[in-house]
Amino acid sequence: MTKLTALSRRNLLIGGSALATTLAMPAISRAQSRPLFTHGVQSGDVNASSGMIWTRTDRPAKVMMEVATTESFSNARQLAPMNALPGSDMAIKRLVEGLPADQDIFYRFTAMDLSDVNATSEPLVGRFRTAPGSRRSVKFAWSGDTAGQGWGIDEEGMACYRTMASHQPDFFLHSGDTIYADGPLEDEVTDESGAVIWRNTVNTDAKRKVAETLDEYRGQWLYNMMDEHVLAMNAEVPTFFQWDDHEVINNWSSSRSIMEDERYSEKNIHVLAARAAQAFHEMAPIRYTPAEPGRVYRKISYGPMLDIFFLDLRSYRGPNTDNMQDELTDESRILGAEQMAWLKRELTNSRATWKVIASDMPIGLVVGGGQEAVANGDNGPAKGRELEIAGLLRFIKAAEIKNTVWLTADVHYTAAHHYSPDRAQFQDFAPFWEFVSGPIHAGTFGPNDLDMTFGPEVRYVKAPEAGQANLPPSAGLQFFGLVEIDGATEQLTVRLMDRADTELWSTTLDPERA
């Protein structure tokens, strides 16, 4: 594989002054004679023949694009230009198709000022690697929770991104809470004695209050892309995004009331969710789904050994109740009937060795007193949202779907859970693993209580000591996971890692044959 550091240091932004300006001044003056790219590049949702690419300009511009399989662009293919306009906050993204499998792909943007055709930017370069068409080893990282609980960009920056990038993963799976739209940043954070324990050396107007307007939601995303480590990783590692609650507001559902929250002048949760969704799809290199514009749940095939099923446990759920209903109704759903039918169909049709189910919330951990996630905390037969998951697990067993692994984040610590009917109240399912990782740059909490409906057992956990909560990234309890699938044996190895690149725990799973 091409060395990634060469690209990130030499070609991330050709013209070092442009990068320095981006980091220091997110709002670029129109007095600049040439257009600038403000927040680097991103790629995402890559498969064997295509991938998404993204960038943003400082003014209305025509953005020229080319792709190549060589870093020199000696065999470049020109793509049709796109216009970066205020309606999308000058952000553009496109699907690049017709790519060769298992190949380093280099892409280059150049911007022309729409009001001055003689003003052209310096080029901006990124790369990704397409999925293999045959069996080769695959490695990816996953985590969640970026810039939450008041911990923004300090002098060290979001260093866990740097650690992840050093492993040169094929892609990064961001499991949700990609931003904290409801988490304003102070310039300094103090402890109980008044001593400063953290300085947000980078802050913006958008991060000084909760997001309500479309521009404020956009600003949450742009803030994260001011971090040097995020910029560097984005230029060389594709990110596969999903979302959870903080992209809108904590614990949101369609029935969430914020009438008593004095921070918000906009009291309509539907308006906030719509603005948040627009910003999410403008700022993340997620594929567009023609059948349902704005859809987050989807499947990405990354070669013959791996299919990833991205769930959305936010958009189609019922209200947050006591989660103790005896029957499955629209009120007790968390995936929704249509998404569930899609998931069952796609799992059945999958021919990949491993089926990774990327869930933005865990199955057996009690969150929000049992009202917020799947588990209701009663340790009994399936009730409430557990009914929908019980139906899915029963279906996976009956259809003889092998080698499913669940990956999640959300709870701000790292853990490995093994689920078995031998320990469960609901027993009509085959044993499986769930791995938890995060935060990647946010406060550390936990651990949460386990609900025994599906028989989880903790095989590993690392979280704050008793009595500690919301530890800053500087405390070191920032986590990500690495998944490696061996091309020869098809074994899947999961490694739980921390910001210092310490391997905390690992396990290797043998594929079960049909």
Assigned token pair, 392:
């899915």
Q: Name the one residue in this structure whose structure tokens are 């990064």.
A: 172
Q: Which domain holds residue 41?
A: 4-129
Residue 29 pLDDT > 90: no
Q: Name the one residue in this structure whose structure tokens are 């951990």.
A: 365
Helices then strands, counting H and E runs in the chain, come out as: 8, 22
175 and 113 part of one domain? no
195 and 278 part of one domain? yes
49 and 165 part of one domain? no
Residue 52 pLDDT > 80: yes
Domain of residue 367, CATH code: 3.60.21.70
| H-only helix segments in 305-385 | 337-349
Q: Name the one residue in this structure whose structure tokens are 């995004």.
A: 241
State which of 129, 146, 172 marks the end of a domain: 129
Whether 514 maps to a domain, the answer reads no
Q: Indicate the number of domains in the chain.
A: 2
73 and 183 part of one domain? no
Return the bridge partners of 143, or none.
Answer: 174
124 and 230 part of one domain? no
pLDDT tens digits for 350-392? Answer: 999 999 999 999 999 999 999 999 999 999 999 999 999 999 9
Instruction: State the pLDDT at residue 259.
Output: 95
Q: How far apart are CA 148 and CA 183, in angstroms?
A: 6
Q: Give yes or no for a contact between 211 and 261, defined as CB atoms under 8 angstroms apart.
A: no
pLDDT tens digits for 203-224? Answer: 999 999 999 999 999 999 999 9
Instruction: State the pLDDT at residue 15.
Output: 33
124 and 156 part of one domain? no
Q: Give yes or no for a contact between 172 and 230, defined as CB atoms under 8 angstroms apart.
A: no
CA distances from residue 470 to 148, 153, 443 in whole angstroms, order as listed: 10, 16, 4
Q: What is the pTM of this model?
A: 0.93
